[in-house]
Amino acid sequence: MDPTSYTPTGNNNHIATATYTVKRDDGTTYNPSNGHFYKFISATNISWTDAKSSCRS
């Protein structure tokens, strides 16, 4: 089955639900559990505190 289409066969007496997330191809990853987007940033010798502060700026 093509992920963007659905063709029912036989008895059509049912409900079909689809959910789509459309996003740019910008290197981020989507977490559907919390609705957040994440992007990996490589950095050496950086503390968690400095990394957290950097991502918020």
- In this predicted model, what pLDDT tens digit does every residue of 18-38 receive, in sequence order? 777 788 888 888 888 898 888
Residue that has been written with the tokens 């049912």 in this structure: 14
Answer whether 5's CB lies under 8 Å from 15's CB. no
Answer whether 38's CB lies under 8 Å from 28's CB. yes
**What residues does each domain of the chain span?**
19-57
Residue that has been written with the tokens 């950097």 in this structure: 54
* Percent of the chain predicted with pLDDT > 70: 91
DSSP 3: T
User: What is the average per-residue pLDDT within 1-20?
Assistant: 70
Q: Which two tokens stand for residue 37?
A: 């987007």
Rounded to the nearest angstrom, the gap between the alpha carbon of residue 25 and the centroid of all alpha carbons in its chain is 11
